Chain A
């Protein structure tokens, strides 16, 4: 059908082409977001297998996502804590309150750096591995073979990985923060010689369980859900080619890093608005 009148008469074809491109991108983006949401919901709905066969399936994924990420989390946590103590001491001593360095280290770790940095590390270590694994399983027809054997790949492959990631993330964040506090202690007390009693007691006074620890925990759970869901969706949606899988792996790291930082801002705005 030929339209009687179209914008084409007023707007040059080149501009129209550009506009169409933009529209296409937007529609595509919205469509993919909807598809990802459906994928996420279906994963949740078919999670029964992950818990019924927790020892057989989900344990293994906790090992791959959590235990194998321990080294990088421990080492990074230690160094972040040490750097925080060095920088914090440097500034605080000018005001004669160098004992407060314990408070500074603990609060910044528990509230922000613990959940955020461990989630970023988790995305690049475990998230990218999940995407590549699922993408390759799809490319080598393992997913469709499973479907042919009347085994639901969402329940059998995606679900356990999702819950493995979601359960690992808060634990990793907690370990990260603990290691950071220990690193801060090493620098401030052992190396610089800040009073040990003041270091710990000020920290204990300042860190509130509900306000700081619980909020940090909630953050890490949200990040865990976001990173794992993005990683699994990107893998499941990856075109079954070498470029497809490598592109999906890159997108996992980029998208989940941005999601972590964006979500962190939103969560912080809600959690600490009165502080």
Chain B
């Protein structure tokens, strides 16, 4: 199977502390791949590398056969037209209505007549079930609705690659189900390749084709959802079943408890 995204030996650091250490990942065309891990383990950084917002210190990020970290601004913008990114909190333009948000890219990048744009936007809004909310402003939408409008905006130009940054965070179970259903349907209907960055294990294991587990900047486990569920690797087991203590300690490293409470002298 041809890979749409290939990440090879990527190292990255924002300043001196390394965020990614020798990451290798492959995203086959038409599949849904999840990147899981604790908060702050470098998941979102990978999305930014794929989008070309950040450049790796060493290694290559290839999308659709082109090396993202070698492109200039025009090349990057050309590649980004084939990508869509759903942000954690939607990132809707607050000065535009739901309709105008979805129409934004069509108006910026195409010279389609307004009547056709209207039809396309209504189709996209219909796909997320919010055709009736076309004239609402982002401030009038609930969190779940805003995320759905943002999803409609993400798929406005039918991207080949859709990236989801924590799509389930902060949603009620119903909205969460709606979004995860939509992601799967979009993948089926548009044939889009998806990368989902998430720490919502149970919801995403139901829908993805392949999972990468990250911890502290390295891929610690990978495999199909069944392999992950049945994994005996202690870290994966702790993460999937949400156990409090394990290889990933509950306590942030610090001085011994007794010493912090100044009980050292009494004990000694």
Q: Is B15 an interface residue (CB 8 A)?
A: no
Q: Mark A121-156, 1 if CB is under 8 A from B, else 0.
A: 000000000000000110011101111111110001
Do A150 and B87 have beta carbons less than 8 Å apart? no
Q: Mark A10-42, 1 if CB is under 8 A from B, else 0.
A: 000000000000000000000000000000000
Do A144 and B105 have beta carbons less than 8 Å apart? no
Q: Is B78 an interface residue (CB 8 A)?
A: yes
Q: Mark B48-81, 1 if CB is under 8 A from A, else 0.
A: 0001010000000000000000000000111011
Roughly how many angstroms separate A139 CA and B34 CA in the complex, as a whole number? Answer: 26
Do B91 and A141 have beta carbons less than 8 Å apart? yes
Q: Is B94 an interface residue (CB 8 A)?
A: yes
Specify the chain B residue showing the minimal Cβ separation from A133. B95
Q: How many residues of A contact B (CB 8 A)?
A: 15
Give the contacts of B80-102 with A (CB-CB under 8 A).
80-81, 83-85, 87-89, 91-94
* A-B contacts at CB below 8 angstroms, number: 46
Do A147 and B91 have beta carbons less than 8 Å apart? no
Give A104 Cβ to nearest chain B Cβ, in Å.
45
Q: Is B260 an interface residue (CB 8 A)?
A: no
Do B87 and A156 have beta carbons less than 8 Å apart? no
When distances are taken between beta carbons in the complex, the residues of chain A under 8 Å from B108 are: 149, 151, 156
Q: SS class of chain A's interface: helix, strand, loop or mixed?
A: helix
Q: Is B109 an interface residue (CB 8 A)?
A: yes
> Range of interface residues on chain B?
20 to 34
Q: Is B104 an interface residue (CB 8 A)?
A: yes
When distances are taken between beta carbons in the complex, the residues of chain A under 8 Å from B104 are: 149, 151
Within 8 Å by CB of A147, from B53, B88, B89, B92, lies B53
Do B94 and A140 have beta carbons less than 8 Å apart? yes
When distances are taken between beta carbons in the complex, the residues of chain A under 8 Å from B81 are: 150
Give A259 Cβ to nearest chain B Cβ, in Å.
28
Give A55 Cβ to nearest chain B Cβ, in Å.
14
When distances are taken between beta carbons in the complex, the residues of chain A under 8 Å from B76 are: 150
When distances are taken between beta carbons in the complex, the residues of chain B under 8 Å from A149 are: 80, 104-105, 108
Do A144 and B91 have beta carbons less than 8 Å apart? yes
Q: Mark B156-185, 1 if CB is under 8 A from A, else 0.
A: 000000000000000000000000000000
Within 8 Å by CB of A141, from B51, B77, B83, B87, lies B87
Q: Mark A147-178, 1 if CB is under 8 A from B, else 0.
A: 11111100010000000000000000000000
Roughly how many angstroms separate A142 CA and B93 CA in the complex, as a whole number? Answer: 6
Roughly how many angstroms separate A264 CA and B110 CA in the complex, as a whole number? Answer: 46
Within 8 Å by CB of B51, from A146, A148, A156, lies A148
When distances are taken between beta carbons in the complex, the residues of chain A under 8 Å from B51 are: 148
Within 8 Å by CB of B85, from A136, A148, A151, lies A148
When distances are taken between beta carbons in the complex, the residues of chain B under 8 Å from A145 are: 85, 87, 91, 93
Roughly how many angstroms separate A167 CA and B88 CA in the complex, as a whole number? Answer: 37
Within 8 Å by CB of A148, from B83, B93, B94, B109, lies B83
Do A150 and B91 have beta carbons less than 8 Å apart? no
Roughly how many angstroms separate A140 CA and B76 CA in the complex, as a whole number? Answer: 23
Q: Mark A233-244, 1 if CB is under 8 A from B, else 0.
A: 000000000000
When distances are taken between beta carbons in the complex, the residues of chain B under 8 Å from A156 are: 108
Do B91 and A142 have beta carbons less than 8 Å apart? yes
Would A150 and B93 be within 8 Å (CB), given that A141-B87, A145-B87 are in contact?
no
Give A145 Cβ to nearest chain B Cβ, in Å.
4
Roughly how many angstroms separate A137 CA and B92 CA in the complex, as a whole number? Answer: 9
Would A141 and B89 be within 8 Å (CB), given that A148-B80, A150-B80 are in contact?
yes
Roughly how many angstroms separate A147 CA and B85 CA in the complex, as a whole number? Answer: 10
Interface centre among B83, B108, B109 (most CB of A within 10 A): B108
Would A140 and B77 be within 8 Å (CB), given that A148-B83, A149-B108, A151-B108 are in contact?
no
List 20 additional A-B contacts (Cβ < 8 Å) besides A141-B88, A142-B93, A148-B84: A137-B94, A140-B89, A140-B94, A141-B87, A141-B89, A141-B91, A142-B92, A142-B94, A144-B53, A144-B87, A144-B91, A145-B85, A145-B91, A145-B93, A148-B51, A148-B53, A148-B80, A150-B81, A150-B109, A151-B105
26 intermolecular pairs with C-beta atoms under 8 Å apart: A136-B94, A137-B93, A137-B94, A140-B89, A141-B87, A141-B89, A142-B92, A142-B94, A144-B53, A144-B87, A145-B85, A145-B93, A146-B93, A147-B53, A148-B51, A148-B53, A148-B80, A149-B80, A149-B108, A150-B77, A150-B78, A150-B81, A150-B109, A151-B105, A151-B109, A156-B108
- Which residues of A are at the interface with B, using a C-beta cutoff of 8 A? 136-137, 140-142, 144-152, 156
